[in-house]
Structure 1
């Protein structure tokens, strides 16, 4: 009988060095997502989808997508089949983590689209390795230049469909210090679209 990877994921959540919350799953939505993805719960991604509506990591700075929970969308809804992108998480600044296959015959890896450079970076980690690193404390160093004093309280106050729009944006010289820029909560869909539109204007390529 196949074994679920959820005990491993759950143990990593419990051992995280910063707050990590498991949102309750919707069984019907979870089954629909697993069918659409063609996955079992033996994989970490399948286990997250089956057993959670999503994960809120580090005071909610990172939202790992599962089967959806209230204002947080499910992982299938956020997919972009046209370019082979499965968005598996996003941060409060509108950055996206996507699991995709860079080329045929190569195992899929997680890529990050950052609001500071507006480009896709291959993290060279599979989904399980990426999520394990995230739950082991990697976010602290990863976002070192994109945080400001008191960010924890500001992020914790956000709704799950909101992000923080900064102006000037972090991709500009004037917007690098997020402690002195203007910061406002806006819908996450608007924030993501804003960054991707800027990327298109700059001629940045799609990840796939």
Structure 2
């Protein structure tokens, strides 16, 4: 019989080379999310929904969605409300620059994998990892390499001071030649909805 996934997730978080914060969960809302997806806590996504409002990784640079969070630092949606049933995509996380991760099938009959929409290329990339392998990688050190070209001096304090429903808008934007060095561009916090829309428009 399969065992709950949360102890394994918790162990990865405890061993992370950067700060990981598990935001509090509303038990009733968590159960509603599990029921909506027909999942159990034996899956990594089910365990994240059941045990977390969200997970903040590396000073909040990456916000992994759980069963939703409402707090003084700003709200985060739950995984169910962030899903797009018409496309079969489930938004599972977003980063402070407006990049976002969805879990979906690349082709019929293929297992779902995590895809990333990058703010510096304006393109989708299939990371070829299932949800569990992707989250384990992000918790255990891959995040630093993944975002190495998008960091600037003092980023940690700036990110930690950004509300959870906001991201950091940069100008010139990171997909332009002038905007590649985020240490030299103009940066300001705007709503995450507005930031994602800006990158996709």
The alignment's TM-score, normalised by the length of structure 2, stands at 0.96
The match for 2:33 is: 33
Is 1:58 aligned to 2:58, yes or no?
yes
Aligned to 2:8: 8
Q: 5+ unaligned residues in a row in structure 2: which ranges?
A: none
Cα deviation digits, residues 115-168 of structure 1 (max 9, x gap): 000111000000000000001100111001111000000000011101000011
1:81 and 2:85 matched: yes
**Structure 1 residue 22: Cα displacement:** 0.5
Task: Measure how far apart 1:80 and its partner are.
Answer: 1.4
Q: What does residue 192 of structure 2 align with?
A: 188
SS in 2 for 1:82: coil
- Equivalent pairs, count: 197
What is the match of residue 158 of structure 1? 162
CA RMSD of aligned residues (A): 0.9
Per-residue deviation, residues 31-66 of structure 1 (Å, max 9, x unmatched): 111111111100000000000001000010000000
Aligned to 1:145: 149
1:56-99 residue CA offsets vs partner (Å, 9 max, x unmatched): 00010000000011111111111112221100000000000110
Match of residue 114, structure 1, among 97, 113, 118: 118
Deviates more, 1:23-32 or 1:122-131: 23-32
Deviating beyond 4 angstroms after TM superposition, the runs of 4 or more aligned structure 1 residues are none
